[in-house]
Chains A and B, each alone.
Chain A
Amino acid sequence: MDLNYTREEQAFRTEVRQWLKETLPHELREKVRLGKRLAKADVELWHSLLNARGWLAPNWPRAYGGCEWNAVQRHIFEEEACLAHAPRSLPFGLSMLAPVLLAFGSEEQRQRFLPRILNGQDWWCQGYSEPGAGSDLAAVKTRAVRDGGHYVVNGQKTWTTLGQHANWIFCLVRTDPDAKKQEGISFLLIDMNTPGVTVRPIVLIDGEPEVNEVFFDNVRVPAENLVGEENKGWTYAKYLLTHERTNIAGVGFSTALLTTLKHVAARVTSGGRPLAENPHFAARMAQAEIDLMAMATTNLRVVSAAAKGQAPGAESSMLKVKGTVIRQELTSLLRRAMGPDALPFQPDFLDGGSNAEALGPDHAAAAAPSYFNMRKLSIFGGSNEVQRTIITKAILGL
Chain B
Amino acid sequence: MDFNLTEERMMLRDTLRRFLADKYAHENRRALIAAGKPYDTGIYAGLAELGVLGAMFREDQGGFGGEGFDLMVVFEELGRAGVIEPVLPAVLAGGLIAASGNGRQRGLADEIIAGTHLSALAQGEAGSRYDLNHVETTAAAEGDAIVLNGIKTHVLYGAEAQTLVVSAREAGAAADAAGISLFLVPVNSPGVTVSGHRNMDGIPSATVALDGVRLAETARLGAAGGGLEALEATVARGLAALCAEALGAMEAAKDLTISYLKERKQFGLPIGKFQALQHRMADMLIEVEQARSAVINLAGNLDQPRGLREIHASAAKNLIGRAGALVAEECIQMHGGIGMTDEYALSHFARRLTMIDHLFGDTDYHLERFIALKAG
Question: Which residues of chain A have a CB within 8 Å of any CB of chain B?
Answer: 129, 132, 134-136, 139, 158-159, 202-205, 207, 211, 268-272, 278, 280-281, 332, 335-336, 338-346, 359-360, 368-369, 371-372, 375-376, 378-380, 383-385, 388-389
Contacts of B277 in A (CB 8 A): 385
B130 beta carbon closer than 8 Å to chain A:
yes
Partner of A336, one of B127, B268, B364: B364
Q: Is the CB of B368 within 8 A of A340?
A: no
Q: How far apart sit A159 and B357, CA to CA, in the bound complex (Å)?
A: 29
Contacts of B3 in A (CB 8 A): none
B198 beta carbon closer than 8 Å to chain A:
yes
Q: Is the CB of A203 within 8 A of B341?
A: yes
Which of B3-21 touch A at CB < 8 Å?
none
Contacts of B142 in A (CB 8 A): none
Partner of A202, one of B197, B268, B341: B341
Q: Is the CB of A343 within 8 A of B200?
A: yes
How many chain B residues touch A (CB < 8 A): the figure is 47
Partner of A205, one of B124, B341, B359: B341
Question: When A272-B175, A342-B358 are in contact, do A368 and B130 touch as well, CB less than 8 Å?
Answer: no
Q: Is the CB of B154 within 8 A of A340?
A: yes
**Which residue from chain A places its CB closest to the CB of B267 in the assembled complex?**
A136
**Which residue from chain B places its CB closest to the CB of A347 in the assembled complex?**
B198
Q: Is the CB of B154 within 8 A of A269?
A: no
Contacts of B124 in A (CB 8 A): 340
Q: Is the CB of B197 within 8 A of A345?
A: yes
Known interface pairs A204-B342, A205-B342; 18 further A-B residue pairs with C-beta atoms within 8 A, sorted by A's residue number:
A203-B342, A205-B350, A270-B130, A336-B363, A339-B129, A339-B358, A340-B129, A344-B200, A345-B200, A359-B153, A359-B197, A368-B354, A368-B355, A371-B354, A372-B350, A372-B354, A385-B276, A389-B276
Contacts of B347 in A (CB 8 A): 204-205, 372
Q: Is the CB of B207 within 8 A of A359?
A: yes
Q: How far apart sit A384 and B354, CA to CA, in the bound complex (Å)?
A: 22
Q: How far apart sit A173 and B200, CA to CA, in the bound complex (Å)?
A: 38
Q: How far apart sit A372 and B85, CA to CA, in the bound complex (Å)?
A: 24
Contacts of A136 in B (CB 8 A): 266-268
**Nearest CB of B to A372, in Å:** 7
Question: When A344-B200, A375-B340, A385-B277 are in contact, do A270 and B266 touch as well, CB less than 8 Å?
Answer: no
- Segment of B59-67, B157-165, B307-315, B330-338 in the binding face: B330-338
**Nearest CB of A to B284, in Å:** 15
Question: When A134-B266, A339-B130 are in contact, do A376 and B340 touch as well, CB less than 8 Å?
Answer: yes
